[in-house]
Amino acid sequence: MSTTTVTTTINHFINGAESAGEGDRTQPVYNPATGQVTAELRLANRADLDNTVAAARAAADSWGDISLAKRTAVLFKFRELVAEHIDELAELITAEHGKVLSDAKGEIGRGLEVIEFACGIPSLLKGDYSDQVSTGIDVFSFREPLGVVAGITPFNFPVMVPLWMAPMAIATGNAFILKPSERDPSASLLLAKLWKDAGLPDGVFQVLHGDKETVDGLLTHPDVDGISFVGSTPIAKYVHETATAHGKRVQALGGAKNHAIILPDADLDNAADHLAAAAFGSAGERCMAISVAVAVGDAADLLVKKVEERAVAVKVNNGTVPGAEMGPVITPASKERIVKIVTEAEAAGAAMVVDGRDLVVPGHEEGFWVGPTVIDHVKTEMTAYQEEIFGPVLVVVRVDTLEDGIKLINSNPYGNGTAIFTSSGAAARKFQRAVTVGMIGINVPLPVPVAYHSFGGWKASLFGDKHIYGPEGVSFYTRGKVITSRWPEPTHASGASYNFPSN
């Protein structure tokens, strides 16, 4: 890893402008494909946190009061600007995350979908009205913003995950503070500038860089009303517990161990194509990556052979190289952890089908590389099965029947995504009804819902009861008001009644 001196410093974005803040701590940011330090990231201190929250509080009051027409105009403009800057955003993602440029553009595309959904906010915020619930009495309801909300996001989608949150929070009238991952923070600053260029008032979208200290400050700050978190399960659980104990509304999305069941009646070429793409795309660093292939009956041997052919053919390189299909993993520590888990599985008797542990990419010897890896005959007691590996590793577990596969999935503590490959409608229907998982694909390996449905897992993959973006996002960032109204005619005084009102 490089120790080269860098001069680039990544700032916060507070109250409408880049800011060095007052904190004196910094942290290096790497290009994982080259192993070079590319920048120093400023980490917020308490004064930075207080200044950011104060700016958000002041902005929330006026932004929450602004007309829907004006809010929508900003969202439309922001959508246009993100689309115009897709290349620039993708370059920032690839330089700090390592995923290939085409994949980086894919995540921005999914983020754009959420902005488009948020552009329809006037109809999403339409309330309900009941006329004449009692004589002369009407009841109506509508939703108001929470106020100040914070989003704490993971390294693996530095644009998409912030865009799962911010457009929804802002469209519903809140001020939003983004605490991005320390590993790939640059794209968030460009997003901040695009929001400003779109006409968003200062303080409505801010970026505060930091680590646990900043997160803890947000979770406990009396002026923060809601927290959206996406990251690993232990931190999601901690965030949920801490912030709810401090009276905040919280949605905390955690990690995953996504299984795909392959039945013998599936088109195995199609299944192998999708399994390889879902396991090795983005170096397996997706919360919806398929990391366990559950091969049913005699599908196994042929399936493993077909996945092997695809795994060895994946073009691993710096994500900026044309034609590259997979980049490096995020840190040396991540590489070390992945290699250790694979080595333990091998020692415990699993069969190495494709071994990516020693991969070196010529010209990028200092990069954090792990090649596509396939391990067969994995048992549930192995760490390779139990832990979220978050690397380009597909483990194959063999079972006898669909029912055994469903039992396996339902015994797993995670419940983010799952998929079935089959040509049987009856089997697919049985599967979709039986699994305890939030997002299910039928011959679709990465069933990330479109923006007008909401995204969320079950069990250890989500703490809190609201899924993210889509209709549940609108609900999460707002609270309801119900008004019971009577306009008595001056001549119709009803007199006092001391009973509980009935209709």
Applying CB under 6 A, the span of 52-60, 71-79, 155-163, 479-487 interacting with ligand NAD comes to 155-163
- Measured from the CB atom, is 111 or 173 closer to ligand NAD? 111
The binder of ligand NAD chosen from 7, 212, 411, 489 (CB under 6 A): 212
Residue of this chain nearest to ligand NAD (CB atom): 231
CA–centroid distance for 421 within its chain: 25
**Measured distance CA(21)–CA(55) in Å, rounded:** 13
CB distance 449 to 424 below 8 Å: no
Backbone angles phi, psi at 356, to 5 degrees: -100, 10
CA distances for 375 relative to 183, 299, 304, 309, 349, angstroms: 29, 16, 9, 14, 10
- Measured from the CB atom, is 155 or 176 closer to ligand NAD? 155
CB of 187 to ligand NAD, least distance (A): 13
- Measured from the CB atom, is 153 or 172 closer to ligand NAD? 153
Applying CB under 6 A, the span of 6-14, 44-52, 228-236, 470-478 interacting with ligand NAD comes to 228-236
CB distance 193 to 222 below 8 Å: no
Within residues 36-65, the interface with ligand NAD by CB under 6 A covers: none
Applying CB under 6 A, the span of 56-64, 176-184, 360-368, 481-489 interacting with ligand NAD comes to 176-184
Residue 43 CB contacts under 8 Å (≥ 6 apart), including other chains: 23, 25, 26, 27, 182, 209, 210, 211, 213, 214
| β-bridge partners, 293 | 260, 396
Active site residue 287: yes
The binder of ligand NAD chosen from 211, 346, 355, 366 (CB under 6 A): 211
Q: Does 457 bind ligand NAD (CB under 6 A)?
A: yes
Structure tokens that stand for 114 in this block: 């959420």
Within residues 239-298, the interface with ligand NAD by CB under 6 A covers: 253-256, 287
Q: Does 390 bind ligand NAD (CB under 6 A)?
A: yes
- Measured from the CB atom, is 153 or 174 closer to ligand NAD? 153
Q: Does 152 bind ligand NAD (CB under 6 A)?
A: yes
CA distances for 342 relative to 118, 323, 375, 389, angstroms: 42, 28, 8, 9
CB-CB neighbours of 409 under 10 Å: 24
The binder of ligand NAD chosen from 154, 391, 405, 445 (CB under 6 A): 154
**Measured distance CA(156)–CA(255) in Å, rounded:** 12
The binder of ligand NAD chosen from 43, 178, 200, 215 (CB under 6 A): 215
The binder of ligand NAD chosen from 204, 230, 354, 439 (CB under 6 A): 230
Sheet strands (E) in 94-157:
128-134, 137-145, 148-152
Judging by DSSP bridges, how do beta strands 36-43 and 458-459 pair with one another?
unpaired
Sheet strands (E) in 234-282:
249-253, 258-262
Taking CB under 6 A as the rule, which mask of x and - marks residues 308-347 in contact with ligand NAD?
----------------------------------------
The binder of ligand NAD chosen from 388, 391, 395, 477 (CB under 6 A): 388
**Measured distance CA(112)–CA(162) in Å, rounded:** 11
Within residues 401-420, the interface with ligand NAD by CB under 6 A covers: 416
Q: Does 27 bind ligand NAD (CB under 6 A)?
A: no
CB distance 456 to 475 below 8 Å: no
- Measured from the CB atom, is 238 or 421 closer to ligand NAD? 238
Kindly name the residue from 243, 271, 287, 395 that is annotated as catalytic.
287
* DSSP element (H, E) containing 109: helix 101-118
CA–centroid distance for 132 within its chain: 44
CB of 178 to ligand NAD, least distance (A): 10
CB of 423 to ligand NAD, least distance (A): 30
**Measured distance CA(149)–CA(56) in Å, rounded:** 9
Q: Does 213 bind ligand NAD (CB under 6 A)?
A: no
- Measured from the CB atom, is 64 or 255 closer to ligand NAD? 255
- Measured from the CB atom, is 240 or 364 closer to ligand NAD? 240
What residue type is assigned to position 354 of the chain?
V
The binder of ligand NAD chosen from 31, 34, 51, 153 (CB under 6 A): 153
Listed residue (431, 434, 461, 460) closest to 444, CA to CA: 431
- Measured from the CB atom, is 174 or 416 closer to ligand NAD? 416
Binding residues for ligand NAD (CB under 6 A): 152-157, 161, 179, 181-182, 211-212, 215, 230-232, 235, 253-256, 287, 388, 390, 416, 457, 461
| Catalytic residue set | 287
